[in-house]
Amino acid sequence: MIFCPVRSSQGRPVERKAKIDRTNVLPLTRQASLLRLSRSSIYYLPRPVSLARFAIMRQIDVLHHDCPFAGIRMLRDLLRAEGVLIGR
């Protein structure tokens, strides 16, 4: 892949990160600088979300949809009323 610094730095960071080629002769640090990305963002690999945490996030979404005026503390209290012990 040939990098053009002007064109490569355009677009959203997600799109630019997709242009990183780990098999290229050009070092990752140089590719990151040409794409105007931070080096730490290209080494980060997202961890999968556990099913329990995903279920709680889904519950928060449902509660927020039902009570859009509810803040952090009220959502916490609503979750506790349903038996989910969670912090703020």
In a domain, 21, yes or no: yes
Number of domains in the chain: 2
Q: With respect to residue 22, please indicate whether it lies within any of the assigned structural domains.
A: yes
The pTM (predicted TM-score) of the whole model is 0.53
- Which whole number is the average pLDDT over 22-48? 88
**Percent of the chain surpassing pLDDT 70:** 89
Mean pLDDT lowest among 5-14, 22-31, 51-60:
5-14
88/72 Cα distance (integer angstroms): 6
Residue 14 lies in a domain: yes
Boundaries of domain holding 24: 5-43
d(CA 84, CA 76): 9
88 is a domain residue? no
* 87 in any annotated domain: no
pLDDT at 20 over 60: yes
Domain annotation covers residue 86: no
Whether residue 33 sits in one domain with residue 9:
yes
For residue range 38-78, what is the model confidence (pLDDT) as tens digits? 888 888 877 898 999 999 999 999 999 999 999 999 999 99
Does 66 map to a domain?
yes
Q: Do both 36 and 66 map to the same domain?
A: no
